[in-house]
Amino acid sequence: MALSPQLQPTDFQQLETVSDRAEREQAYADNAIYVYDEPQGQRYTKGQNPMHTRRSWQSLDAILRSDASASRALPTREMRISRLFTALTVVAGILTVAGTSASAREGLDLSELNGTGAVLLGGGLASVGFGITSGVFYGRTKKGYQNAVAIYNDSLAVRLGLNTASGDYIPPEGVLVDEEGFIVLDENERGLTDPVDPEEGAPDPGPSEVGPAEEAPALPTGEAPALPTETAAPVETPAETPAEAPAQTPTDPVPIQSPTSVAPVPAPGTGGSTAAPWDGGALELHPR
């Protein structure tokens, strides 16, 4: 871990002197450890600055040891055992290389095992055993550091006064939260709308200030308005006398002209004859 770039430790003494709620929330966002799942494994940053480099769990030792709770949660025993077996693996590897060099001329004869062959065989088996044991404790150490990250974030929130010791969120003044800790209503916005009791109904808006001239027009009734219909004028046959023909009123009004202003209408089939003058009776429509 000494070879890995470490995340900067947190100055808790300076953070505990901050009194403003907004500054404390910003201090938590700047000093918390954030976890990112990437193809090569979990990576960590301190704060949410996009320019920060995402580092492995070996870079968390300095920042986790700056908090007492997170420091006690570190897997110290597993880390020591992992380091011990890593060193033994290196020593066993050296013995394996030495046994290989010493028995290079004779070779390894398992039927007649000599000293050089025993060094070679023992070094190889020890390297495998120590390597597996070191890997097991290495994995436990990694999980212990991941668990210490969660403890560090919780301890940071408690020391900044954002959470209780049991992990419950402490809302700011003037904020309502539900049983699960979610913000329901900001008290500063309560004055914008008055609560309405469902049993009493909506409050009376008071007398209307709209005058009679500004009243809304009445809505139309369900009856549909009568629409003008267009019908074709019936074709009539000439009657024998004007008295026997029934009186008919055309749909489209026809202008009635006085007898003196009736224009001569050519008779059907002829171009020179004129119709009889209008005698004031019912009009007859004849096809041309």
The arithmetic mean of pLDDT across residues 221-230, rounded, is: 52
Tell me, what's the pLDDT at 225? 52
Query: In sequence order, what are the residues at sequence separation of 6 or more whose Cβ sits closer than 8 angstroms to the Cβ of residue 149?
Result: 33, 35, 44, 60, 64, 70
CB contact at 8 A, 62 and 6: yes
For residue 156, the tally of other CB atoms under 10 A from its CB is 22
Tell me, what's the pLDDT at 287? 83
CB contact at 8 A, 266 and 272: yes
Tell me, what's the pLDDT at 125? 86
CB contact at 8 A, 34 and 50: no
CB contact at 8 A, 248 and 200: no
pLDDT in tens, 24-33: 989 999 999 9
For residue 71, the tally of other CB atoms under 10 A from its CB is 16
**In this structure, which long-range contacts are made by residues 94-103, counting pairs with CB atoms below 8 Å and at least 24 apart in sequence?**
94/123, 95/119, 95/122, 95/123, 95/126, 96/120, 96/123, 96/124, 96/126, 96/127, 97/123, 98/123, 99/123, 99/124
User: Strands 41-46 and 175-177: what pairing?
Assistant: unpaired
Q: How far apart are CA 148 and CA 157, in angstroms?
A: 14
Question: Cα 236–237–242 angle (5° rounding)?
Answer: 95
Q: Which residue has the higher pLDDT, 14 or 261?
A: 14
- Identity at 64, one-letter amino acid code: L
DSSP state of 17: T
For residue 153, the tally of other CB atoms under 10 A from its CB is 19
**Coil/strand/helix, residue 142:** helix
- The region of weakest confidence among 41-45, 47-51, 63-67, 252-256 is 252-256
Q: How far apart are CA 146 and CA 74, in angstroms?
A: 9
Which ranges constitute the DSSP H helices of the chain? 12-15, 21-31, 61-65, 68-72, 76-102, 115-159
pLDDT at residue 163 is higher than 70: yes
- Identity at 206, one-letter amino acid code: G
* Joined tokens for residue 58: 């070996």
At residue 242 the predicted structure's pLDDT band, cuts being 50, 70 and 90, is very low
Sign of CA dihedral 101, 102, 106, 107: negative
Q: How far apart are CA 280 and CA 177, in angstroms?
A: 93
For residue 275, the tally of other CB atoms under 10 A from its CB is 12
Tell me, what's the pLDDT at 32? 92
The mean pLDDT of the chain is 73
